[in-house]
């Protein structure tokens, strides 16, 4: 069973730091080059704390921390550790989160990803998000060249979902 909890515990930051060591899981994030350079869970936590407006929600499968959702105004994001991918947890967590936000009074929720992130695009469309805008070459992602990660330009896809469009 998937549960959400506001805020991350100290040990969750440690687990997240270990998840982030697998660059493949963060390569599509706008700040991937920054995330891959954290030298400790403490440094990573300080970065999250310093961003002010970001609200983190831990995703737990039974008692295990498996990833997080993030809310910034009316925009959200999701991240799961590699071993928890492809099992329906992203769908379950996202539905729980949208249900919670819409109950709290949000009328519309937005998110975006890069054009390469086919898995995330599938998830968002499956849940009912609509594409509202596509752009070209407005962000950077990481790609592997030999055994090195290098930056590459990518496009973005912007999505939104209205409360009345969301069915649990
Ligand atoms: C994107 C992410 C949240 C998806 O979560 P998930 O739990 O793996 O997704 P689900 O298992 O619920 O699958 C959702 C849909 O994606 C599709 N999908 C599953 N595995 C896929 C894959 N390897 N490639 C492409 N699409 C895939 C399927 O359509 C699936 O729905 P279905 O099983 O009903 O057909 C997760 O992979 C993740 O955290 N990735 C790293 C961080 C990231 O990219 N976050 C988004 C940045 S904007």
User: Which residues have CB under 8 Å from 102's CB, separation 6+?
Assistant: 109, 163, 166
The proportion of the chain whose per-residue pLDDT surpasses 90, expressed as a percent, equals 96
- Tell me what pLDDT residue 87 has: 97
- CA 123 / ligand 1 centre spacing (Å): 5
Domain that residue 21 falls in: 2-165
**What's the gap in Å between 90 CA and the centre of ligand 1?**
6
146 Ramachandran zone, left/alpha/beta (phi>0; psi -120 to 50) = left
pLDDT tens for 67-100 read 999 999 999 999 999 999 999 999 999 999 999 9
Task: Give, for ligand 1, the residue of 80, 86, 154 to mutate: max count of ligand atoms closer than 8 Å to Cβ.
Answer: 86
- Ligand 1, atom nearest to 111 Cα: 48
User: Residue 108 sits in a domain of what CATH number?
Assistant: 3.40.630.30
For 22-49, write each residue's pLDDT tens digit. 999 999 999 999 999 999 999 999 999 9
Number of domains within the chain: 1
Upper half-sphere CA count for residue 168 (Cβ side, 13 Å):
7
């Amino acid at each position: 069973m998937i549960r959400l909890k506001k805020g991350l515990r100290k040990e969750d930051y440690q687990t997240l730091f270990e998840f982030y060591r697998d660059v493949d899981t963060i390569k599509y994030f706008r700040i991937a080059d920054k995330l891959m350079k954290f030298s400790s869970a403490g440094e990573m936590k300080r970065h999250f704390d310093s961003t002010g407006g970001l609200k983190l929600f831990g995703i737990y499968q039974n008692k295990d921390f498996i990833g997080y959702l993030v809310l910034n105004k009316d925009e959200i994001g999701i991240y799961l550790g590699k071993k928890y991918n492809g099992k329906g947890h992203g769908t379950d967590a996202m539905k729980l989160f949208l249900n919670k936000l819409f109950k709290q009074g949000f009328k519309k929720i937005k998110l975006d990803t890069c054009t390469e992130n086919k898995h995330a695009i599938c998830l968002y469309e499956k849940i009912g998000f609509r594409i509202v805008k596509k752009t070209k070459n407005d962000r950077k992602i990481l790609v592997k060249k030999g055994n090195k990660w290098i930056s590459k330009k990518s496009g973005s896809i912007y999505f939104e979902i209205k409360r009345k469009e969301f069915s649990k």
